[in-house]
Amino acid sequence: ATIRRTEPTAGSGDSARRFGTQRVLVEPDAASGVAVMKFKNPPVNSLSLELLTEFIISLEKLENDKTFRGVILTSDCPRVFSAGLDLTEMCGKNPAHYAEYWKAVQELWLRLYLSNLVLIAAINGACPAGGCLISLTCDYRILADNPKYLIGLNETLLGIVAPFWFKDTLVNTIGHRASEQALQLGLLFLPAEALQVGLVDQVVPEDQVLSTALSVMARWMAIPDHARQLTKNMMRKTTVDRLVKQRDADIQNFVSFISRDSIQKSLQMYLEKLKQKKG
Ligand SMILES: CC/C=C\CC/C=C/CC(=O)SCCNC(=O)CCNC(=O)[C@H](O)C(C)(C)COP(=O)(O)OP(=O)(O)OC[C@H]1O[C@@H](n2cnc3c(N)ncnc32)[C@H](O)[C@@H]1OP(=O)(O)O
């Protein structure tokens, strides 16, 4: 994928400089050590191969810059945090493309889930499937209080199955029983329900999502990095190792599953339904 970097905006200091790429805006504040990363892949921030690639590059840049200790993930698109994996990447393409795409999805998850940075999701819009997965890799989730902003792993509604590492990430967050129900039914939770089940940590008025994320970030950044990072690693490494050990097999499994005629038909029908919703 071709990556076009955005020009820094005019400003006096580092904190006024933006960097990033076409689809991932990064607003760094060197003074606080916090960067706000905004997804900008209109209309719905679907996780296309380009967005995944740019996301990984921007994250790596922040990980390698010791100025930054915390990142807030949020959306630049109105009403949608992320619509999840890009269905057009999983429909009507060839096996090599599916393999490349899935490797990028795995790569992003692996980097986010064990990131040394404090990651906070400021969820300012709908957050289904892969969008929910991204928020679940964060250390803390704040969701805007809007009944349209549903969140959850709804894969079964599309006739597909959440991979084991999506499931593991959910189980690590809300426990086994709640995950079993949520995954089988493909539940998309309203904000109050998401809070109750522990899928998000806070629900706040829409105009307070970012300010809340910044104040929560201050609390997390008050903890010495090495102790917090080792603790995060202790909690999450077993889950990550499971995928690392069978990464290639997981790619093969995805490619053969997604290539089935029945799965392609289900996805096509789901896409059609999304498009017809408008008319
Ligand atoms: C072995 C393992 C096998 C498989 C595992 C695969 C795992 C997959 C995980 C996933 O993430 S699958 C993706 C699941 N995502 C969804 O179900 C969300 C679908 N989208 C929506 O529900 C809605 O679009 C929204 C609530 C996010 C936003 O609603 P609204 O603002 O009303 O926008 P529209 O629905 O009108 O959509 C605008 C435009 O965008 C297209 N689109 C929506 N979602 C996707 C998507 N995920 N991928 C690609 N394109 C998407 C939609 O079709 C519309 O296109 P137009 O051409 O009609 O403008």
Catalytic residue among 154, 158, 170, 210: 154
Split at pLDDT 50, 70, 90, the class of 19 is: confident
What is the structure's pLDDT at 279? 58
First to last CA, the chain: 33
Q: What tens digit of pLDDT does each residue of 188-247 get? A: 999 999 999 999 999 999 999 999 999 999 999 999 999 999 999 999 999 999 999 999
Separation between Cα atoms, residue 63 and residue 123, nearest integer Å: 22
> For residue 264, what are the contacts with CB-CB under 8 A and spacing of at least 6?
91, 92, 258
- 257 Cβ closer than 6 Å to some ligand 1 atom: yes
Whether the per-residue pLDDT at 256 is higher than 70: the answer is yes
pTM exceeding the 0.90 threshold for the entire prediction? yes
Q: Using a 6 Å cutoff on CB, does residue 185 contact ligand 1?
A: no
What ipTM describes this predicted complex? 0.98
Between CA 15 and CA 82 the distance in angstroms is 26
Q: How far is it, in rounded angstroms, from Cα 198 to Cα 192?
A: 10
Which of 23, 39, 44 to mutate for ligand 1's pocket (most ligand atoms within 8 Å of CB)? 44
